[in-house]
Amino acid sequence: MADRIVSFGAEPGTEKYELAYAQSQYDRKVALGLGFAVSGSDVIEIGCGHGGISCFMATTGARSVVGIDINKINLGHAENYLSALEERIGGIHLPIEFLEMRADRLDLEVESFDYVLADNVFEHFDDPEAVMKEAYRVLRSGGRLMIPTFSSIYSKYGLHLKHGLKMPWANIIFSESTIVAVMLRLAKENPNLLEIYPGLKGNPRSVKELRRYEDLNEITYGKFKEMARRQGFAIEWLRPQCTLIGRVIQRMPGFGFLAESQLIDVFSTGASACLRKRVD
């Protein structure tokens, strides 16, 4: 956060900061790319946040982009960023629509998209399998659900408490009640944590309850694959982003079963995946 404040030249909560954050999303995709081509495609981004990625897809040739989120404030920032971007590129209208909508209850037509993009959000859905079901419904035959990054609850920082408890794998070592107790103590020392994790103001009993939307599930890579298959998806790939130990496990001759075990969840920082709707 401190690095962002310096980089953006603005404090969190200011319009300048929020626009800079959206621009950083856009710039990151300019530098790294999407990993798939959206030219001429209809795309929906679920959990679009500040809208930078949706805007990038529109400027790189997508026929249409829908960005959805449950956070009205972030959707407002997305609209402001879109207006600023359109002005910057000469008043060209970009084919984007931002909507307040839940990913597990898409109010959208059947088979209306070529791609569903879900970046850094899959571990935050109340019901990730319901999200997969909805993605399958709105995808056209052969369409893809693209997940550049998501994390197992057992991955290195799967607890998502980076602003407070920075210890990796804390949930593997300590009980949830201990972790919550530590977060409450840290909040007394640093009251800013009460805004980042508003659940600390109440009587939280779980890590999930610390978060503003109580949006942390217990997905693992194994559960993810089981859900995808149940919903009819073909798994084109699931690629864990392994730590050094994880990479060693993956390469151990004669121990291929370990590469499919939960050890890979533990010795990873996340994973990417591509799911394809079967061709009729």
In the chain, what are the domains? 2-153+218-277 (3.40.50.150), 170-210 (no CATH)
Reference 68, options 96, 27, 32; nearest CA is: 96
The per-residue pLDDT of the chain, averaged, comes to 93
Both tokens of 51, joined, read: 């809208």
Residue 3 in this model has a pLDDT that exceeds 80: no
- In order of 136, 251, 275, the CA distances from 111 in angstroms are 8, 40, 15
Lowest mean pLDDT among 84-88, 100-104, 168-172, 252-256: 252-256
Q: What is the pLDDT of residues 17-63, one digit of tens each?
A: 899 999 999 999 999 999 999 999 999 999 999 999 999 999 999 99
Q: Which residue type occupies 93?
A: H
Q: What pTM does this model have?
A: 0.91
pLDDT at 70: 94
Q: What is the pLDDT of residues 103-147, one digit of tens each?
A: 999 999 999 999 999 999 999 999 999 999 999 999 999 999 999
**In this predicted model, which residue has the larger pLDDT, 46 or 250?**
46
pLDDT at 168: 94
pLDDT at 6: 64
Lowest mean pLDDT among 9-23, 26-40, 142-156, 226-240: 9-23
Residue 1 in this model has a pLDDT that exceeds 70: no
Mean pLDDT of 179-202: 94
- Between CA 161 and CA 70, with CA 274 as vertex, the angle to 5 degrees is 50
